[in-house]
A and B are shown apart, each in its own frame.
Chain A
Amino acid sequence: EVSLVESGGGVVQPGGSLRLSCAASGFTFSDSTMHWVRQSPRRGLEWVSLISGDGSTTFYSESVRGRFVISRDNADNSLHLQMNSLRSEDSAFYYCASAVPMDYKLFDHWGLGTVVTVSS
């Protein structure tokens, strides 16, 4: 059974940093494009970033480009999101999600999320 478990969320001051992680199991992680998607009452659901199965290709939404870095470690089936220069508008539930095999833009399995709160 597929399992995705996020961790690393918390409260951070504006301008600070956080590193989110996602532990994956139950599927061939290295074959899967992975995403970070966030959700907040203010901004709704919003795609954040994706990384290809081998880690060679990454993309970011305009709202986080230059501040966030996505990475993965296929040796231990983990996905990460390094979030720097955090702003109040980055406060959200952050989900990791695996892509549907035939369409990397569709979100297949999701974790339960981890909460990030950016506040002074």
Chain B
Amino acid sequence: DIQMTQSPSSLSASVGDRVNIKCRASQNIGAYLNWYSQKPGKAPNLLIFAAATLRSGAPSRFSGSGSGTDFTLTIDNVQPEDFATYFCQETSATLPGAFGGGTNLDMK
């Protein structure tokens, strides 16, 4: 089974900062990597799919990059509504795959 490892597990930032969240797959998953955000008490929300495609309606300050085993979610100019937990998830096989353990982004 493919394992997904995110780093860091928590991150503090100020409004206006640029932040990077990493996700590493235990084997090559091509570009089958997706990012979700989740706020406390809410369900996750799809942000980016296929490693770098921004979901319609998601703010353009979010971007994704990477392929193979190493991926990055970047938030440029962090806004107050961006403080949340971010999860990566691989979908390289026929069925939905593993999620990473999450990165909690909070306000510095």
Contact = CB atoms under 8 A, between A and B. Distances in A.
B49 to A, nearest CB: 6
A104 B55 CA distance: 15
A107 B42 contact: no
B34 A106 contact: yes
Interface stretch (B12-20, B22-30, B68-76, B95-103): B95-103
7 contacts: A45-B44, A45-B99, A47-B97, A100-B46, A106-B49, A106-B91, A107-B96
B99 A44 contact: yes
Given A44-B87, A100-B46, A106-B34, 19 more contacts: A44-B99, A45-B44, A45-B89, A46-B99, A47-B95, A47-B96, A50-B96, A59-B94, A61-B95, A97-B43, A105-B91, A105-B95, A106-B46, A106-B91, A107-B36, A107-B44, A107-B46, A110-B43, A110-B44
B43 A44 contact: no
Nearest to B87: A45
Interface residues of A, number: 21
Q: Is the interface of A mostly helix, strand, loop or mixed?
A: strand
A55 interface: no
Contacts of B49: 100, 103, 106
Contacts, number: 49
Contacts of B34: 106
B74 to A, nearest CB: 20
A59 B95 contact: yes
A59 B96 CA distance: 10
Contacts of A37: 96
A95 B95 contact: no
A112 B43 contact: yes
Contacts of A108: 46
A72 interface: no
A35 interface: yes
Contacts of B99: 44-47
